[in-house]
Every structure is written in C-alpha cells, then in structure tokens.
A and B are shown apart, each in its own frame.
Chain A
Amino acid sequence: MAQPVTLDARAHDKDALLTTKRESLWQDALRRLVRNRAAVVGGVIILMLYLMAIFADKIAPYPYEKQTLVDQNKVPAWMLKVFPTMQPYAKISDKYLLGADYVGRDLFSRIVYGTRVSLTVALIGPLISLIIGVTYGSISGYFGGRLDNIMMRIVDVLYAFPGLLFIILLMAFFRSTFARPEPGTFTYAVSQLDARLGGMLFIFIGIGLTAWETMARLTRGQVLSMREKEFIEAARTIGATDLRIMFRHILPNIVGPLVVAETLAIPGYITTEAFLSFIGLGVNPPTPSWGSMISEGAQVIRTYPNQTIFPALALAITMFAFNFLGDGLRDALDPRLRGTQ
C-alpha cells in the first residue's frame, strides 16, 4: 500500500520541478542583488543622487555662482552647536542651510550642483573605458598570436606610467593647448564644448585615456578562456563569422565580470576627478566640484571647518553607495567571489 503512494509523491514532485519557472542568469543575479540590503541602499542613494543632479536647479535655493560678498563665511545658527569653536567670531545668517563660502556663495547649492560633475564622471568614465578597453581586449584575445603579443606589450608599457602623474601631465597639456584657440578651428570647437561642460570634457578624456588598460587586460583574459570552449567551436563549424561569434557568443558570456569590475572602478574615477579639481586642474571655476570645494575649504579649515566637511561628506556618501552597489553586484553575479579582490 505504501509503495504506490511514494511513487505517486515522487511523480508529483517531478512535475513541480518541471513547472518551476526557469531563471536566466540575470534574473537569478537580480534576485540575489535585491536581497542584499547594503547594495539596495547603495542603489537607492545613487538613484537619488542622479535625480539631484538632474533637478539641481530646482533643488538648489541659489545659483551656484551667485556671490554675496557681505555674506562671506556666514554660518546658520545650528552650526555653532556642531562646531562650537566658531562661537567667538562666526557671523550668523540663517539664509544659508550649510553656510556660505569665502565669497558668499551658498554651500548647499554648490554641493547640490556638485553632484552633476561627480555623477557624470561616474557615468562617462566607465563608458569610455568599456568602449576602448573591451574593443582592444577582445581583438587582442580573440585573434591571439603575434597581434595579441604586440597589443599586450603596448598595454604593459602604458601600465608602467605612474597613473596620477600621467593624468596631471595630460590635463596640463589639454588645458594649455586649448586655452586660446582661433575661432573656426577644430581646437576652437573642442574648447567651446569643454567650456560649456564646465571643463569636464578634458577630465573625461584624461580618465578615459588612463582607465581602459585594466579593462583591456580583463577582457582579453576572459575572451581567451571563452575562445577555446566547445560552443564557440560549434558556432564556427556552422559558419558563423568572427563578428557574430564575438557579439553573439563570447561577449554575452563575459559581460558579468566586466560589469562588476567597472562598477567597482567607478569610485576610482570619482576620486580622480575630485583630486584633479583639488589641485586646480579639474573643472573650471566657478563650476562647483566637490574636489575644488574641499580644496577651497581646506584653506580655512581652522576657522570654518563646515566649508570642507560637508563637501567631503557628500563625496564620501557617493563613494560608499557605489562601493556597496559594486560589492553587491559582484556577490550577485558570482557568489563564489564574495569577499575577494
């Protein structure tokens, strides 16, 4: 009597197994990502920061470049509770949420507008490095042989460049080459575009030119390991072209590690921009960047610490958010990797 029941139950289970919805790798990863609280918080913060960047002119109470000289270094009343050392000399004005800077510009408005620079870098940096790096790396890995050898030696040499020094040199080169061009020339068009972007164009180019090498190496390694797989051979036997194999069969299979690496690289791009603006080679004043605000605030850190602390906090929150999201993405796409790198 017992026997048929178990058999029945097994058959039932099997049915259940068969009807379970099959999940693709990406759905599976998304499910794991959503379960990771830190990553979700990071993602939400990033989303909010992007909204802030888009609607900066609606959120900020003042234009970022508006100077009110009589309001120099003024702070709101609550600031004295946080920074009691300011008590003896601080001038109070509740007009400004976080105070005003040394020429009387609203700090809060400048921080809000500052999201535009950092968050654009967070978007464009990966884009450039992905486009150059993945193209370069997949050509090198896919065709292999002597071409691969030459292409990778070039990357090796570029790797020997001290990154930060190279990018400083590049920025100086861009800034002075495109300083005073004749109207109507190509140089003029480029410098006009850069000026309209508040000086960000050259930051993108600088970051892009130095960031793709890591991506190229990673892509090449991934392509190399994929190239020898049987399904690639199968595709080749039925006459698929190189391009089709690359885009249809190899790239979709390696996109996971690339996305993870690129997300984890974003904080690096944001820091690079902040550093360039910090030493005065980044955005053009008066465009606010958190890096340039930290550097301006650092001049008066003994007297008005709020001018440094708040931009630094904004930068830190953004960095945390991207790191949390990147970590979560990595765990979600390859759970075996948790805690590595």
Chain B
Amino acid sequence: MGRYIARRLIYLLVVLFVVSAITFGLMHAVPGGPFDREKALPPEIIENLNRRYHLDEPLLMQYGRYLYDVFIPRISATPPKGSVDDDFLITVKLGNVWFKWMNFGPTYSSRSRTVNDIFRQQLPVSAQLGIMALLVAIIIGMPLGILAALKQNTIFDYLGMSVAIFGVSVPVIILGPIMIWIFGVTLKWFPPTGWGAKPPFVLGIFPRELGPEFFRYAIMPSVALGLGSSAIIARLTRASLLQTMREDYIRTARAKGLRESLVIVRHALKNSLIPVVTILGPLFAALVTGTFVTEVTFGIPGMGRYFVTSITNRDYPVIMGTILLYALILVIANLVVDIVYAYLDPRIRYD
C-alpha cells in the first residue's frame, strides 16, 4: 500500500508538471499581452512593467522561474516581509526558521495583491459552495436512490428516477435564473445574489459564523449546483442496492429470520454504499472546480469570476495558479478514492 501511494504521488507530480507545461504554452501562445489597453501605454512603461514581472526574459526561463517559486520550498531565518514577491501560501515557523512553500506570484491586475491573496479570499467561497452542493446532493440523492431500489417498479421508483432525470436535464445555467426569479425576485425567500460569508475564514476555509445569514445566501446556489449530482448519487445508490439485494448473503440473512429492516440496514445498505462513497471524491472535485456557472449566475465572489477575467486580461499567474490548483484537487480526490476503495473492500489490493 505504501509503495502504491508513493508511486501515485510521483505520478501526481508528473501530472502537475505536464498540466503546467501545457497551460503555460497555451497561455503564452495567445496573442496580446497583459498590458494591452484600449489606449496604448507608452512603450517605456510597458518595458518597465515587463521587466518588473520578468516578462522580458525568454519563455523557458520564465517557466523555470515559475516552477521554482511554486514547487521548491524555501527556508529562511527572517519572517516573511509581507511584500508582493515574498508571499507564500504555506508559511510555517519551525523553531527559529521559517518554512515557506508555494509562491504563486503576483497578479497583474493589482499592485498590492498576489495570486495567493485571491486563493485565500476567493477559493474558500468556492469550496464552501462545493461542500454545500455536495451535502445537498447526498441529502437528496441517497434517500431517493434507496427508496427507489426498495420499492422497485412502484410509484416511488418512477418518482425517484424522474427526479434523477430532472436533475441531469436541468443544469445550473437553466435552474439558476429560474430559481432566482421564483424564490429570489417573486417570493423573496432568499436574496437573489451574493454570498453570506466574507473573509477572513476559520482555518482558511470555513465561514466565521454558520448562522441563518450564511444559509439564506447559500441554499439557492447549493441546490442549483447540487441537484445534478444528486441525480448521479440517486441512480448509483439505486443500482448498487438492487444488485446487493440479490446477493446470497441477503438471502441467508433473511433465511435465518432476521427482521427485514435489519437485513436492509445492516447487510444491504452497508455493502451497497461502497460505490457511492467512492464517487463522492471525484464528485466533490467536480463540484468545487465546477462552481463557475453558479458563481457567475448568482454573483458569488468565488474563483470563477477571477478566472474568466484573468483569461481575457492575460493575467498569466492567475491562470496558471487556478488551473494548477484545480488539477491538484482533481488528482488528490482520485487518489483518496482509490485508497478508500481498498480500505472499504478488502478484496482490492494494490501492489
């Protein structure tokens, strides 16, 4: 197992390297630079700006510099200066030296902010939205799937599967505006746009207070985002439970006179939820990295808006940082799933 994880971690590094190379290449192949304006800046100023951000160097050198800043940890005796160039995502004091890691560089859109600042302030919002949507997906999807499987071919089954079809057929881009109009504008149950939690966040991700204010803002976008995934969970739960109910050990449990409710809870559900649990990882990754539409529709200050504007503005460090970070989330989610899978199902062994 340890060797397997080690191999996967090496693979993770390779993936991040390739992803960064492709993104870097593609990004710099796009014509135009970060300092193109409607009214052209004087050439001397552009020259100075390019020198300031090392954009005058050969591309390969820029790429090397970027990788060095992001991947190679630094150890220094002095605390971080708090300047734009000395901003590391992970800064830990070890004894009397400082361990600093992951400097995603400056953003061209502001002289005082860094990509790390954007991550600290906007990424938690996207993550909160993703977590809430995942909760919605589980709360709606699992009971629906279980009910549909236990009452197969009854009205519950058809109802459950209709909800599932509804979920996959109505993505956020449709559901968002309609929900805003019904619940936000007409009924005025929820604020139509915005987000209830503001930085700084507890532990860098959780809102300071999880009160009604947070949920008032969070419910609509989370339902809009999570409904599609609840359909996936419902279908998977149903299929898996149906299959488990046909297993021999279920018949054995019934034969020895166990109550039906115990048969279902203790024997069937426990085993049938393995594939459902394993899909939660990639689903979470997909939800966190897929909050863009939801953020744009509901005016939520998450990563989505920054990414889209960073592309049109050629804000290279923001583009690189976002794609790298999201790729990291995706790869780690898959790794965790594989490990959890082996843990839950002892028949699976990685060499």
Contact = CB atoms under 8 A, between A and B. Distances in A.
B327 A172 contact: no
Contact of B23 (A157, A169, A298, A302): A169
A312 B29 CA distance: 36
A158 to B, nearest CB: 9
A206 B174 CA distance: 22
A123 B148 CA distance: 33
A310 to B, nearest CB: 11
Interface in B309-340: 311-312, 319, 322-323, 326-327, 330-331
Contact of A339 (B170, B173, B235, B327): B235
B323 A85 contact: no
Report the contact-size class of chain B (Cβ under 8 Å from the partner): 35 or more
Interface in A149-202: 156-157, 159-162, 164-166, 168-170, 172-173, 176-177, 179
Contacts of B322: 165
B307 interface: yes
Interface in B150-209: 161, 165, 168-171, 173-174, 177-178, 180-181, 185-186, 192
B30 interface: yes
A278 interface: yes
Nearest to B326: A162
Interface string A285-298: 00000010010011
Contact of B19 (A160, A170, A274, A340): A160
B169 A309 contact: no
A279 interface: yes
A339 B330 CA distance: 27
Given A157-B18, A339-B161, A173 B181 contact: no
A339 B239 contact: yes
B250 interface: no
Contacts of A170: 26
A312 B165 contact: no
Contacts of B174: 294, 312, 315-316, 319
Contacts of B289: 162, 164-165
A3 to B, nearest CB: 41
Interface string B213-256: 00000000000000000000001101100100000000000000
B185 A177 contact: no
A278 B296 contact: yes
Contacts of B238: 339
Nearest to A264: B168
B181 A308 contact: yes
B31 interface: yes
A169 B161 contact: no
Given A162-B289, A169-B23, A301 B185 contact: yes
Given A168-B308, A320-B165, A324-B165, A173 B171 contact: no
A104 interface: no
Contacts of B161: 339
A179 B32 CA distance: 11
Contacts of B18: 157
Nearest to B293: A275
B315 to A, nearest CB: 12
Most interface-central of B23, B322, B327 (chain A CB within 10 A) = B327
Nearest to B182: A305
A101 interface: no
Given A271-B171, A319-B169, A169 B177 contact: no
B297 interface: yes
Contacts of A168: 307-308, 311
Contacts of A165: 289, 307, 322-323, 326
Contacts of A267: 168-169
B88 interface: no
B14 interface: yes
A341 interface: yes
Interface string B68-111: 00000000000000000000000000000000000000000000
Contacts of A219: none
B269 interface: no
A323 interface: yes
Contacts of A164: 289-290, 292
Contact of B30 (A177, A271, A274): A177
Contacts of B26: 169-170, 173
B220 to A, nearest CB: 13
A341 B275 CA distance: 11
- Among B242, B289, B312, the most chain A Cβ lie within 10 Å of the Cβ of B312
Given A302-B192, A339-B238, 7 more contacts: A85-B185, A160-B327, A165-B322, A267-B169, A275-B173, A278-B296, A301-B181
28 contacts: A85-B186, A159-B330, A160-B15, A160-B16, A160-B330, A161-B323, A169-B26, A169-B27, A169-B311, A169-B323, A173-B30, A176-B31, A177-B29, A267-B169, A274-B171, A301-B185, A309-B177, A309-B178, A312-B177, A319-B169, A319-B170, A320-B165, A323-B165, A323-B168, A339-B235, A339-B238, A340-B235, A340-B236
